[in-house]
Amino acid sequence: MEKVCLIGAGSTKYGKLEDSITDIALQASVDAIESAGIGPKEIQAGYISNVFGIADKQVHLGPVIMSNLGIPEVPSLSIESACGSGSVSFREAYANVAAGFYDVVLATGVEKVTHTGTEWTTTYFSYCSDFFYEGGAGASFPGLFASMARAYLSEFKATEEDLAMVAVKNHDNGLLNPKAHLRKKITIDDVMKSAVVASPLKLYDCCPFSDGASAVILCSEKFAKAHTKNYVEVIGSGRGGSPAALQGRDHITTIPSTRIAAQAAYKMAGISPKDVDFAEVHDCFTIAELVDTEDLGFFEKGKAVEAVREGRTKLNGDISINPSGGLKSKGHPIGATGIGQVAEVFDQLTGKAGDRTVKDAQIGLTHNFGATGASCAVHIFKSV
Amino acid sequence: MEKVCLIGAGSTKYGKLEDSITDIALQASVDAIESAGIGPKEIQAGYISNVFGIADKQVHLGPVIMSNLGIPEVPSLSIESACGSGSVSFREAYANVAAGFYDVVLATGVEKVTHTGTEWTTTYFSYCSDFFYEGGAGASFPGLFASMARAYLSEFKATEEDLAMVAVKNHDNGLLNPKAHLRKKITIDDVMKSAVVASPLKLYDCCPFSDGASAVILCSEKFAKAHTKNYVEVIGSGRGGSPAALQGRDHITTIPSTRIAAQAAYKMAGISPKDVDFAEVHDCFTIAELVDTEDLGFFEKGKAVEAVREGRTKLNGDISINPSGGLKSKGHPIGATGIGQVAEVFDQLTGKAGDRTVKDAQIGLTHNFGATGASCAVHIFKSV
């Protein structure tokens, strides 16, 4: 098995974008290619992650992107795994390079939905749930995560203010990220006073609908070494699944797929959670970050809330969680999110993260799931 | 690199189906699992191919399928590459087993669109083209393939009756396939008298919109040998791309991605086109089968039409093309088609193809593309 490395990354700003889905995918792809210091013709395959290309009237995105990059003959495909599409696509790109099928590949994630309006988006996003049991029964994602939040608050004596602290922290980080969607300082009071979306979750507990694209270049270690000294190594990769509908799970304050994926990734990397310097985790709602950081083994069950209260997950705390601002502040263009996390890790570990740099970081982790965690992938990276 | 084998295959009937997208995906998956003589718990990953899950309000199909199979913890993902989704997904499943990431995987393709009506389907399918240049400019797929047909007829002195012979042959084969969508004997006269869709293509030159699901079980050679004597080996796999929009190509009587994918697959298999006993090729329109069989190297450029006139591509002719009935008669549930082709090869090479058996066949090939061939995958299989 070949060692797989990252040599480049790029992203558009996340937010409400005017350009087409193809254009923003290309902007991120070109950024990544230029960041890697290679030419498009060195790319041997394209892995695209996207969920609702139909919103901008373009599915089958791979050939369109490859053609516009001037490499129409290069094979490509689109991968969908709901909000976890990016990390799952990254995993396929990783696997193909690790196996030696390709030497250099482009992984681009993209989503363009804000122009469709909230009703379209909420309705179509609900098709990512187990629609027979969930979306079709009226349970949209805010409602499902609200159920998880209610159970967590009850089981672990946490408060709505605790949830709010996650949002405040991630907005603080996002303020330092020029490409973040919601660059706005907020207070606990702001969160508490924001409109109730699905009790106990309020508007500021929820990530936004975002447009955006991110891209990274993966390659063999041999190729990386020949091209640059400033690259990042993929040292762990794991995937897992959970019962698709929340009602099929024994507990709803933990996500099985995260645990399965993380265990596999830690095992491959030969590290334990305490070795991780920072992590980009799937905080689609504030409650998710608490659950994630426990399932990833950073904290014991029910203890993430203490860590947040004590500021231990802040930028340059014990473990920096979501230095980019996370889905909450950086934004959540669903097909792009998992790739954007990897781009953040690349920037962090190659000295390109500016004001939000996690000091002396050597190991970064990405965690990205689909729906309420029905699918999940975890990746671990190391600076060289 | 591990040898990869097929040990099971299953399909629903193709056509207008009443059950949900999840249900038909499960029916094919369970068929494949039972055909392999294994239990669901032996499956380590699920590769789902689908394009328009939104039509039946369910994307993120993988976890729903895995959960209903009783293996929710098993990772899964969805792959989209327009009408070529199935073969591209099969390629990823193949690559992961070949690399040793998994020992046994399920590849299920599914589509459910007929309930949405022709207007929805035609509109959404056009999103698979390079929409900026094609769909958005009014060029739907019948129109694009009509351009190819017009060029072919002109360049190679072929006639509309020649195209019709492809349809007649594939309907003859489909009559022998209990799961085919259009099981109807037709004549050249029937084709010629059918409504013009996009001249020179008439209704009977076009494949139908179909619902349907197909599934296959891939595994390592070691696993296959331990479980059965009646399995099939994957000996070649190739992928390629073409300029996404037809206008970007130098010639429109050939599809570059087919040539690239086929060359890679033949090279890996160590065989030449003349070694292939039968092929399931992408005949979304009659013209496509002529172009495909030339690009695959079965006939020289412009000579496929002679082969069809002489009946050499009929069942048990020189090379049996589309013994299943092809997209034209068997049907074209777009996400399922590429997997259905593999299922047909499995049935042919394991003695399960009944009346449509290609006699003494040892090597079968599948060819499946997206849009007008912007993406393509070719796979080659051998009986053991």
| Residue A171 lies inside a defined structural domain of this protein | yes
Catalytic center residues of A: 83, 332
Find the residue in A nearest to B93 (Cα): A92
Q: Which residue has the tokens 């970064």?
A: A364
Least confident of A52-56, B119-123, B234-238: B119-123
Do the chains contact at A135 and B81, CB–CB below 8 Å? no
ipTM entry: 0.98
Q: Which amino acid is at A46?
A: G
In contact, A266 and A258? CB cutoff 8 Å: no
A148-199 tens-digit pLDDT: 999 999 999 999 999 999 999 999 999 999 999 999 999 999 999 999 999 9
A221 shares a domain with A364:
no
A12 shares a domain with A71:
yes
Q: How many CB atoms lie within 10 A of CB A30?
A: 15
B193 shares a domain with B86:
no
Of A63, A240, A245, the CB nearest to B75: A240
In contact, A48 and B85? CB cutoff 8 Å: no
B117-162 tens-digit pLDDT: 999 999 999 999 999 999 999 999 999 999 999 999 999 999 999 9
Of A60, A79, A92, the CB nearest to B128: A60
pLDDT confidence bin for A131, thresholds 50/70/90: very high
Closest residue by Cα to residue B255 from B340, B150, B369: B369
Do the chains contact at A64 and B130, CB–CB below 8 Å? yes
A178 shares a domain with A67:
no
3-class DSSP state of B232: strand
Do the chains contact at B78 and A79, CB–CB below 8 Å? yes
Any idea how long chain A is? 384
User: What is the C-alpha separation between B120 and B16, in angstroms, rounded?
Assistant: 15
Pick the catalytic residue from B171, B332, B367, B379: B332
Phi, psi of B262 (to 5 degrees): -65, -45
CB contacts, 8 Å: B121 with chain A: none
B207-232 tens-digit pLDDT: 999 999 999 999 999 999 999 999 99
| Residue A132 lies inside a defined structural domain of this protein | no
B225 shares a domain with B342:
no
How many independent structural domains does chain B possess?
2
A266 CB contacts (<8 Å, ≥6 apart)?
A236, A238, A272, A273, A297, A380
B80 shares a domain with B189:
no
A297 shares a domain with A262:
yes
pLDDT confidence bin for A1, thresholds 50/70/90: confident
B377 shares a domain with B330:
yes
B189 shares a domain with B59:
no
Any idea how long chain B is? 384
How would you label B90-121 residue by residue, b for 16+ Cβ within 10 Å and e otherwise? bbbbbbbbbbebbbbbbbbbbbbbbebeeeeb
A171 shares a domain with A32:
no
In contact, A329 and A286? CB cutoff 8 Å: no
B187 shares a domain with B225:
no
In contact, A245 and A129? CB cutoff 8 Å: yes
What domain range is B13 assigned to? 4-116+210-232
